[in-house]
Structure formats: structure tokens, C-alpha cells
Amino acid sequence: MYAFTFERPTSVADAAKLAAAGAKVLAGGQTLLASMKLRLSSPEQLADLGGINGLSSIKKEGNAVVIGAMARHADVGSNADVKAAIPALAALANGIGDRQVRAMGTLGGSVANNDPSACYPSALMALGATVHTTSRTIAADDYFQGMFTTALKDGELITGVSFPVPKRAAYMKFKQTASRFAMIGIFVAQTDSGVRVAVTGGGNGVFRHAGLEAALNASFTSEAVAAVKIDSSELSSDIHASAAYRANLISVMTQRAVAQALG
Ligand SMILES: Cc1cc2nc3c(=O)[nH]c(=O)nc-3n(C[C@H](O)[C@H](O)[C@H](O)COP(=O)(O)OP(=O)(O)OC[C@H]3O[C@@H](n4cnc5c(N)ncnc54)[C@H](O)[C@@H]3O)c2cc1C
């Protein structure tokens, strides 16, 4: 490791000031510390968000579950309100990485990082979530902008995410076995305004699948999904899986997600 300064602000306002002055914020360190060790990132100042009260709260507000940026995956997965209102979201959190990653990794860190194979972005997209930051709110559809790219501006911090409660939802992940990130992950949500299907692990970043959404709006069944042809031309192809394999996984995982959502 190389020399850097370390701050531990106790309020969001102080953290935002430090970030605006160029500090890199530290959440659970699950991505950031590894990047620093590998010299992929070399911030001169870290501002640890772990000392800010209230940033890890999880509460039901009206028809939404509102989760603070510093909520750890293990806390989301075991929270009674999340389990009751959006069990698919609790299951997603409980399926992230391993116990250490779930004990330290955070919602805000995951959403800020926007790894193209991360699980949470698919939940935000499918549920039509809203990202709350230090300066505004951003709809999930506008927030994710491709590989490791988001609508966040320099120095802007995520404070939490509101997840509207769906009628039904499920998340199905085919794991990349070494990392446990999604080779393909599918989040399906049925809401009063229709069905949304979000795919992670398939390309440059999370995306919604219009063909699957149309089929499921017509008939919320696994059979309807099986009849949709998945175009592989824009999917990733790498040492883990070809684009054709990923296309097949999108169909199979969506069928399984729908079956699970139907109970
Ligand atoms: C072995 C391993 C397996 C994993 N498996 C999975 C998996 O199966 N599925 C999955 O979805 N993820 C997986 N992850 C990622 C994990 O879920 C973490 O959430 C992710 O690494 C981010 O880590 P963190 O929350 O500790 O954030 P950090 O590493 O502390 O920060 C990550 C980035 O986000 C920025 N940041 C953090 N918080 C905020 C904020 N509030 N506002 C603005 N910017 C912020 C930081 O400055 C940094 O740039 C895995 C990680 C590891 C190491």
C-alpha cells in the first residue's frame, strides 16, 4: 500500500465536503481496497463513511423499502421488513459473494461501483428504484450508464435507495463460480404498471429486456418467456461464457425467476 490520509466524517455534509475536495469515499472496501492494492486506484485521501449515523438504516416507508447507502448486504438479507415486503431483494443480498463480502459490502458501494455483473443494479432497474444522493434523486433508468459508469457527478454521494414494493418479484443468478458474481442474473418484477425484467452480467452493464417484458405483460408465465428469442449479438463473450451461452442463460434464468415469483 502507499501513503494516503484517512478521514472519518460523522455527518453526510462533512463527507460530501471531503468528497467535493477530492477525497475518495470508503464504504466496505470490498472493491476499493483491492483496487488500491493493485494500484488501479490511488486516492490521496480516503473518507470512511462508516462513522456516519443513520446511513445504514433500513425502513419501510409507505409502499417502498428505503435502504441506506451503508447497509451491508448481510443486514439487507436478514432484515424483517425487506424479507416481508420484497423477499426477492433479501434473497439477492443473501446470494452476494461470500460471508465476508456480505458482512462488509454495502448497497451504496455496489450501486456506485456499477460492476457489469453485480446483482443489485438488476434489482434497482426491475423494481424502478430511486437513488438518493447528496444533491438529488435519480431514477434507476437514468442512473446506470454502462460499465462502471453512473449518473453520479464528481463528489456526489449516494445516501440511500428507495425500492417500491412490487406485486411479485424474483431474482435468479447463474453464478460465475470463482467470483460468485452473475454470469447472468435476472430480476423480474410485476408491478401495477407492468412487468420489468432486468439483466445483469450480459454486457456493458445492467439492461432491461423489452422482448421479455412484452411477453410477460401479455402472459406472466414461464411458457411465455420460453417463446421469446434472445438476441446474442450484443451480449458479452469471454473466457467464462460465449454470447450464445449467455443468451440461453437469459431465457432459462428468466423462466426460473417467473416460476419462483409465481410461487
Ligand atoms: C470476492 C467478491 C465477491 C463478490 N461477489 C459479488 C456478487 O456475487 N454480487 C454482487 O453484486 N457483488 C459482489 N461483490 C461486490 C460487493 O458486493 C461489494 O458491494 C462491492 O465490491 C462494493 O464494495 P463496498 O460496498 O465495500 O464499496 P467500496 O469498495 O468501499 O467502494 C466501491 C466504490 O464505490 C464508491 N462508493 C462507496 N460508497 C459510496 C457512496 N455512498 N456514494 C458514492 N460512492 C460510493 C467508492 O468510493 C468506490 O469507488 C463481490 C466482491 C468480492 C470482493
What digits encode the pLDDT tens for the residues 209-261?
Answer: 999 999 999 999 999 999 999 999 999 999 999 999 999 999 999 999 999 99
Distance 200 CA to ligand 1 centre (A): 15
Among 116, 189, 104, which Cα is nearest to 149's?
Answer: 116
The answer to the question of residue 251 being in a domain is yes
Among 42, 84, 263, which Cα is nearest to 170's?
Answer: 263
Helix, strand, coil fractions of the chain, as percent rounded to 5: 35, 25, 40
User: φ and ψ at 46, to 5 degrees?
Assistant: -110, 140
Residue 197 corresponds to which amino acid? V
What total number of domains does the chain contain?
Answer: 2
pLDDT of residue 187: 98
The answer to the question of residue 118 being in a domain is no
Cβ neighbours of residue 101 closer than 8 Å, sequence gap 6 or more: 30, 73, 180
CB neighbour class for 49 (10 Å; exposed up to 12, middle 13-18, buried from 19): buried
* CATH code of 9's domain: 3.30.43.10
Q: Can you tell me whether residue 200 is helix, strand or coil?
A: strand
Residue 147 corresponds to which amino acid? M
The answer to the question of residue 30 being in a domain is yes
Cell readout for 216 is 410477460
Helix residue spans in the chain (DSSP H): 12-20, 32-37, 73-78, 80-85, 87-94, 99-104, 107-113, 120-127, 140-143, 210-218, 222-226, 243-262
pLDDT of residue 2: 77
pLDDT of residue 1: 64
Q: Which residues of the chain are modeled with pLDDT < 70?
A: 1
Among 23, 25, 80, 88, which Cα is nearest to 51's?
Answer: 25
Helices then strands, counting H and E runs in the chain, come out as: 12, 12
pLDDT of residue 90: 98
Q: Is the CB of 157 under 6 A from ligand 1?
A: yes
Strand-pair partners of 210: none
Give the structural domain span for 22.
1-49
The answer to the question of residue 92 being in a domain is no
* CATH code of 206's domain: 3.30.390.50
The answer to the question of residue 235 being in a domain is yes
The secondary element (H helix, E strand) that includes residue 149 is none
Q: What is the dihedral of CA 230, 96, 110, 257, to 10 degrees?
A: 30
The answer to the question of residue 159 being in a domain is no
Distance 187 CA to ligand 1 centre (A): 19
Which pairing describes strands 158-164 and 130-133: parallel, antiparallel, or unpaired?
A: antiparallel
The answer to the question of residue 234 being in a domain is yes
Contact predicate 55/69, CB 8 Å: yes
Among 67, 21, 29, 23, which Cα is nearest to 45's?
Answer: 23
Distance 26 CA to ligand 1 centre (A): 10
Q: Is the CB of 158 under 6 A from ligand 1?
A: yes
Cell readout for 257 is 425467476
Boundary of a domain, candidates 26, 49, 72? 49
Q: DSSP assignment, residue 42?
A: -
Q: Is the CB of 124 under 6 A from ligand 1?
A: no
The answer to the question of residue 5 being in a domain is yes
Q: Which atom of ligand 1 is nearest to the CA of 133?
A: 42
Boundary of a domain, candidates 15, 34, 49? 49
